[in-house]
Amino acid sequence: MLKIIPVFLVLSGLLGCGSEEAEVPSCEAAFGHFYGEGCAMFNSDGTMIPLGEYTLDCNAALRGVYQIGGSCQGAFEDFLRCTIMVVGDECGECNPELGIVAALCT
């Protein structure tokens, strides 16, 4: 089973996530940007996951996603595209994409 990425701290919105035309960013680029905007990823117990650890988890998940392929892969790529577009207080905007990944990839 694919280890699913922990939930975001929910804040407010960003439109246009999941664009099919945008290039898929790497985990390093997506989450370097995300953390650089003051956002973070959190474990289910509410503790913040350090950027380096989260990037490693993301890369491991991505390898699993490419093995599964299909809708799971597309959903994970949309999640990365959304994450790299987050600005400022929009940290929770990609939660719907993360939910789709959880539904399709487990």
Q: What is the pLDDT of residues 51-82, one digit of tens each?
A: 999 999 999 999 999 999 999 999 999 999 99
What is d(CA 105, CA 60) in angstroms, rounded to the nearest whole number?
13
Percentage, residues of the chain above pLDDT 90:
75
The CA angle 12-13-14, to the nearest 5 degrees, is: 145
What pLDDT score was predicted for residue 47? 96
What pLDDT score was predicted for residue 2? 40
Q: What is the pLDDT of residues 28-46, one digit of tens each?
A: 999 999 999 999 999 999 9
Task: Give the predicted TM-score (pTM) of the model.
Answer: 0.77
